[in-house]
Amino acid sequence: MVMHIMKTKINTRTLTSLAIMSAAAFVISIFRFYFIPSATYLTYDLKDIILIIGGFIYGPLAVFAMSIPVAFFEMIFMPNANGIYGMIMNIVSTCAFACTASFIYKKMKTVTGATIGLACGALTVTVVMMIWNYILTPIYLVNYAGFFNTVENARSFTLSIMFSVFLPFNLIKSSLNAALIMFLYKPLKKALSASKLLPSENIEVKSKINIGVIIASTFVVITCILSMFALSGKI
């Protein structure tokens, strides 16, 4: 009975903490800037830092749970969020980086583990977003932005700026996020602990199913399937 009450309190604290971090991530996402003059449409914000720290504390599933409402509210309330296309790309980008980093950190909770996790997350999001930009950006340019008449023309344009725009943007963005997380993780965790939003004891509920592996595998499978369709000209 006592354990049940403790777990209920921990779950309530976890939900409250995740809600606060999600709200903070959304508010922070309002403030954006760009660092590639030729691509002002690619903006950077700090929301992923909050979400990744949440992943470090609660695991990769928490990142997935937070990324969906944050991306949804961005789509609803922010005029330059690029509709459903922007929402999908936001979720994919956040999860590719944060789920990878938090999964590795969960297995190795040290500074070395955090460094390795963030480095792997940065590489993962860079590769994944290159693929998803090749797949989804041409569809966005035709059906949403109306810049091109055919997906083939839009894809040719997307490919022409892949290594000059998308690659440096994702590398700079992920590297900057990784550096800031290394500085902010401990202070934010201490603040949450001080406000009693984190449990005083590290009680974990073990599961036979590894959520991190499921999330990562799902993204890999979806990305591979969409890549095959894109290369075959079906999308």
Contact 116, 108 (CB under 8 A): yes
The angle that helices 111-143 and 167-194 make with each other, rounded to 10 degrees, is: 130
Place of tokens 């209920």: 8
C-beta neighbour count of 122 within 10 angstroms:
22
C-beta neighbour count of 151 within 10 angstroms:
18
The pLDDT value recorded for residue 199 is 56
Predicted TM-score (pTM) above 0.85: no
Compute the residue count for the chain: 235
Cβ density class 64-91: b for 16+ within 10 Å, e for less: bbbbbebbbbbbeeeeebbeebbbbbbb
The pLDDT value recorded for residue 30 is 86
pLDDT tens-digit readout, 12-42: 777 888 888 888 898 888 888 888 877 777 8
Q: Which two tokens stand for residue 235?
A: 């999308």
Give me the chain's average pLDDT, please: 79
Positions of the chain with pLDDT under 70 = 1-10, 192-193, 195-235
Domain ranges within the chain, ordered by starting residue: 2-29+40-232
Q: Which two tokens stand for residue 91?
A: 């979720």
- Which has the closest alpha carbon to 55: 4, 117, 115? 117
Please tell me the class of the 2-29+40-232 domain.
Answer: mainly alpha
Q: Is the dihedral of CA 115, 119, 122, 125 positive or negative?
A: negative
